[in-house]
Amino acid sequence: MRKKLVVGNWKMNMTRAQAKAAVESLVQLVDPKTEVEVAICPPFLSIESVVTVFSGTPFQVGAQDVFWMPSGAFTGCVSTSMLADAGCELCIVGHSETRGRFGKLEVPATTVAYFAESDETVNLKIKALLAQSIRPILCVGETLEERNEGRTDEVIAAQLKGAFVGITAADYKAGVVAYEPVWAIGTGKTCDNAEANRVCGFIREQLRAILDASTADSIRILYGGSVKPSNAKDLFAQPEIDGGLVGGASLDPKDFSEVIQGA
* Candidate residues 42, 136, 224, 253; the one interacting with ligand PGA per rule CB under 6 A: 224
- The verdict on 143 binding ligand PGA (CB under 6 A) reads no
The Cα angle at residue 47 between residues 107 and 219, in degrees rounded to 5: 85
**What's the CA dihedral at 212, 218, 224, 230 to 10 degrees?**
150
**Per CB under 6 A, which region of 52-60, 154-162, 209-217, 241-249 contacts ligand PGA?**
241-249
* Candidate residues 36, 129, 156, 246; the one interacting with ligand PGA per rule CB under 6 A: 246
**Closest distance of CB 250 from ligand PGA, Å:** 7
**Cβ contact 227:187 at 8 Å:** no
DSSP-assigned letter for residue 60: E
- The verdict on 98 binding ligand PGA (CB under 6 A) reads no
- The verdict on 181 binding ligand PGA (CB under 6 A) reads no
Cα–Cα distance for residue pair 40/8, rounded to 1 Å: 5
- The verdict on 39 binding ligand PGA (CB under 6 A) reads no
Please list the residues that pair with 135 across neighbouring strands.
90
Please list the residues that pair with 7 across neighbouring strands.
39, 245
Catalytic annotation on 89? no
Pairing of strands 220-224, 243-246: parallel
Catalytic annotation on 117? no
Residues that bind ligand PGA (CB under 6 A): 9, 180, 185-186, 224-227, 245-249
The catalytic site residues sit at: 95, 180
